[in-house]
Amino acid sequence: MTPHLSITDQPIDVAAALAAVQTDAAGAVNSFIGTVRNQSGGRRVRRLHYESYDSMALTQLGHVVAQAYEKWPMLQEVAVVHRKGTLNLGDVAVVVAVATPHRAESFAACQFIIDTLKQVVTIWKREEYEDGTEWVAAHP
């Protein structure tokens, strides 16, 4: 039940993340796949650059997953893989996969993990547009 957590500068292997949570104790596997979109706030996005403070990101991700295990004790396996570096449109930026005995908890736990990840995990996103770049969410 040790979670599979990683931050990588290589393309994410979604199938491998799903395989990592496979267990005979689970009747449900739920996943979230975040991909690079072609626009943001009405501006055309050309590509993204993700920067990570790896050691803290993995520490905080561990806390997020530990909270999920507390909230859903039936949670079996968890995998979270986040990409860093330069990503092009359509690239996979993050995968969250969870395995639970039944489906309701799988949806809830998967959503909790991605939502909380976005709040606390030390990864930053710089969007590149036709006419410049910007750190996402940096300013009010």
Partner 1 sequence: MALKIALFGITRDIVGQPTLEMPTPAPATVGALLDHMRAHYPALGQLRSCAVAVNNEYAPADQALGPNDEIALIPPVAGG
Residues of this chain that interact with partner 1 (CB under 8 A) are 34, 50-53, 55-57, 59-60, 82, 93-94, 114, 117-126, 135-140
- Cβ at position 122, least distance to partner 1 in Å: 6
**Smaller CB separation from partner 1, 34 or 101:** 34
- Cβ at position 93, least distance to partner 1 in Å: 7
Q: How far apart are CA 17 and CA 39, in angstroms?
A: 27
**Smaller CB separation from partner 1, 75 or 125:** 125
What is the distance, to the nearest Å, from the Cα of residue 129 to the centroid of all Cα atoms in its chain?
23
Cβ atoms of 109 and 68 closer than 8 Å = yes
The secondary structure element, H or E, covering residue 44 is strand 43-52
- Cβ at position 113, least distance to partner 1 in Å: 10
**Smaller CB separation from partner 1, 26 or 61:** 61
**Smaller CB separation from partner 1, 17 or 94:** 94
Residues contacting residue 44 through CB under 8 Å, at least 6 positions apart: 38, 129, 130
Tokens 């990588």 locate to 8
- Cβ at position 12, least distance to partner 1 in Å: 13
The one-character DSSP state at 42 is T
